[in-house]
Homo-oligomer: A and B are copies of this chain.
């Protein structure tokens, strides 16, 4: 417990999403065009709300995964651009609904759509984007891709409801939490990566490789996000630190600190998370306990574990610039904690 895991510092410090960005630059320009076109509507509020979130500076990792996972098999057409856009719309719809469900005021430092246009518009514009996503999938015409993405849509929603059920329950186990993030976050990463080989018409083993890569990358990505919310490895209070704590969200750093704590410490967590006592003073104390039990290091260790699985999932594929870029994304995701 609390052992510092060597993070292969020298390598990770260099890890970057840039090679993937460079390789997908031309494709992402087509994705961005399609996003603007398909978020358009005569109903003015729709592009307003959609563009607020779409232009808010997300990394667009998911659509890049779809482009890369098709291009690495030599795919040259337009289908991967449409599916990448559909994936980004599914993600955007989820964020719009999430902000309503979590009653969030801020996302990436900006007011959420629900704070500007209200919960109503956020729910409905999310529904619209989901409908548009399905129309683009239908346009591509691949029933296999439709199967993967519609299943992901169900699984994501199911994961969100599961999260609601376990919310503010400090007895949540690590396994239960993993089920939640597997459904909420990793399923869309997996689907985004799996539809690439589908449109490239490769064989089943390559589909499965990319699906496993996406799923495990998604788990690593979410766990690192959980660490970052408590300030990363340095565990210093930044201006975006502690949002999960203030919202009473149970994430792996909290689960580990709770389960490793004394009776008194566990009472503190229940009061803070279940009882909603998320004062700055309590946040400081929570950070101290998380430090005491090495919860951030150990959550990062879990992320490294899933990152390793993602890496091995791609191992049988021939070397290429695409494959290297996807491998570097794993290191990049994890290196964010440093």
Residues of A within 8 A of B (CB): 41, 43-46, 97, 100-101, 119-121, 123-125, 127-128, 130-132, 134-135, 137-138, 141, 143, 146-147, 150-151, 153-158, 160-162, 164-165
Contacts and interface: CB of A to CB of B under 8 A. Distances in A.
A119 B134 contact: no
Given A123-B101, A123-B123, A164-B120, A128 B154 contact: yes
Most buried by B among A43, A132, A141: A43
Nearest to A142: B143
A313 B69 CA distance: 48
Contacts of A43: 158, 161-162, 165
Highest count of chain B CB atoms <10 Å: which of A125, A138, A153, A165: A138
Contacts of A124: 97, 101, 157, 160-161, 164
A45 B150 contact: no
Contacts of A120: 100-101, 164
B157 A135 contact: no
Contacts of A165: 43-45
Nearest to A150: B134
6 A-B pairs with least C-beta separation = A131-B154, A131-B153, A128-B157, A127-B157, A134-B150, A101-B120
Contacts of A164: 45, 120-121, 124
B158 A135 contact: no
Q: Select the residue from A41, A141, A150 with max chain B CB neighbours within 10 A.
A: A150
A125 to B, nearest CB: 6
16 contacts: A43-B161, A43-B165, A44-B165, A97-B124, A100-B119, A101-B119, A120-B164, A121-B161, A124-B160, A124-B164, A128-B158, A131-B150, A134-B154, A137-B150, A141-B143, A143-B143
Nearest to A128: B157
Contacts of A135: 147, 150-151, 154
A163 to B, nearest CB: 9
A143 B121 CA distance: 30
A154 B134 CA distance: 9
Contact of A154 (B132, B137, B160, B162): B132
Contacts of A46: 158, 161
Contacts of A146: 134, 138, 146
Contacts of A160: 124, 127
A113 to B, nearest CB: 12
A129 B132 CA distance: 17
A135 B147 CA distance: 7
Contacts of A97: 123-124, 127
Contact of A45 (B45, B143, B153, B161): B161
A44 B44 CA distance: 38
A128 B161 contact: yes
A93 to B, nearest CB: 8
A245 to B, nearest CB: 19
Give the one of A101, A128, A156, A157 with max B CB within 10 A: A157
Nearest to A148: B138
Given A134-B153, A138-B147, A161-B46, A100 B123 contact: yes
Given A131-B154, A134-B150, 19 more contacts: A43-B162, A45-B165, A97-B124, A100-B100, A101-B124, A124-B161, A124-B164, A127-B130, A127-B153, A127-B156, A127-B157, A131-B151, A131-B155, A131-B156, A132-B154, A134-B153, A134-B154, A137-B150, A141-B143
